[in-house]
């Protein structure tokens, strides 16, 4: 089950804000930014925390989510697919190397 903090973490990632994670819950949660996060991105994340629905909720079924996929924009679909590919390559580093991505920090 996703906690509100997990959902907010996912939201910031979807917005393209570079974070390491979210701690706590609610508008005053702690957001751990990556060093490359700009001041604008940090401000946007804090504003998003104020407007985020922090109430725990019941997750939709896979079929309910599947029914909404056709409503995604091309940009949203690309973001989802890129995240799925990155997650997969993260757990399969040999494949990452095979396709030309170095999975290790240099």
Domain borders along the chain are: 4-51, 62-98
Give the pLDDT of residue 25. Answer: 84
Reduced to 3 states (helix: H, G, I; strand: E, B; else coil), residue 26 is: coil
Q: What are phi and psi of 21, to 5 degrees?
A: 165, 175
- pTM for the whole thing? 0.54
Q: What are phi and psi of 42, to 5 degrees?
A: -65, -45
| 51-62 pLDDT per residue, tens | 999 988 777 899
Structure tokens, 68? 């909404």
- In the DSSP assignment, the letter for residue 58 is P
Q: How many helices and strands, by DSSP H and E, does the chain display?
A: 5, 2
Give the pLDDT of residue 1. Answer: 63
């Amino acid at each position: 089950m996703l906690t509100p903090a997990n959902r907010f973490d996912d939201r910031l990632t979807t917005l393209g804000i570079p974070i390491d994670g979210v701690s706590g819950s609610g508008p005053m949660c702690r957001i751990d930014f990556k060093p490359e996060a700009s001041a604008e991105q940090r401000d946007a994340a804090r504003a998003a925390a104020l407007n985020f629905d922090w109430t725990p909720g019941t997750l939709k079924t896979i079929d309910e989510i599947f029914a909404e996929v056709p409503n995604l924009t091309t940009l949203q679909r690309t973001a989802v697919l890129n995240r799925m590919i990155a997650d997969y390559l993260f757990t399969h580093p040999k494949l990452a190397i095979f396709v030309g991505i170095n999975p290790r920090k240099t």
